[in-house]
Copies of this chain bind each other. A is one copy, B any other.
């Protein structure tokens, strides 16, 4: 969505300029960054890296969607984020990645190799600040998610999820849901069944429509936002 907005504003933008890490940087800086980058593609379901793997660099999603997750020894899974175009991952170095990353759809991404990129952080003015802003944004998202996981009920969680997807896809009311229910469940701290039932309830309430199971229309955004923020969490 990030990239999509950028490209409607400036239609014939070149790939490098579309890179989120380069946003706001000088052209000369951009080309130096591109010099340490390589393009990589993943098929749906493919793993980019696993928890504990050495960090080979920083990645930026160019197209498609991937998920980050952590596992407990007995297999319980918590998905910590869904990343779309323009989002950055792999910023947590030293001692390896602290989560696994896996493609949901076909994914194109750009890898900034560790060695060169680290040097550029010191050399390019503004790049470090840019990355700090990225990290701050992720932190903000993480805190919202903690509030959701710790204190919201099932309906509030699902409503929040739908609004997040809508936001990532450019604030449209037509949302594509590229991941299966099991991934949504592991993101929201629920079970597949509860997610499914909650979709059904929101549909019966007239807040959303479900043309197919991977496609949601938001029919009443105001009420959905009230649900998501807990204004009327228990009214099902």
Interface residues of chain A, those whose CB is within 8 Å of chain B, are 68, 70, 72-74, 76-78, 80, 91-94, 98-99, 118, 121-122, 125-126, 128-129, 131-133, 135-136, 138-140, 142-147, 149-152, 186, 188-189, 229-231, 233
Cβ A142 vs Cβ B139 within 8 A? yes
Could you list 11 examples of A-B contacts with CB < 8 Å?
A: A73-B231, A74-B230, A74-B231, A91-B136, A93-B136, A98-B144, A121-B129, A139-B142, A146-B146, A146-B149, A150-B189
Inter-subunit contact A143/B140 (CB<8 Å): no
A132–B122 alpha-carbon span in the complex (Å): 12
Identity of the chain B residue whose Cβ is nearest the Cβ of A233 in the assembled complex: B74
In the complex, the 5 A-B pairs of residues with the closest C-beta atoms, listed nearest first: A150-B189, A128-B128, A142-B142, A135-B135, A149-B149
- The reply to whether B128 and A91 contact each other, CB–CB distance below 8 Å, is no
- The answer to whether B92 touches A140, judged by C-beta atoms less than 8 angstroms apart, is yes
User: In the bound complex, do residue B151 and residue A77 qualify as a contact, i.e. CB atoms below 8 Å apart?
Assistant: yes
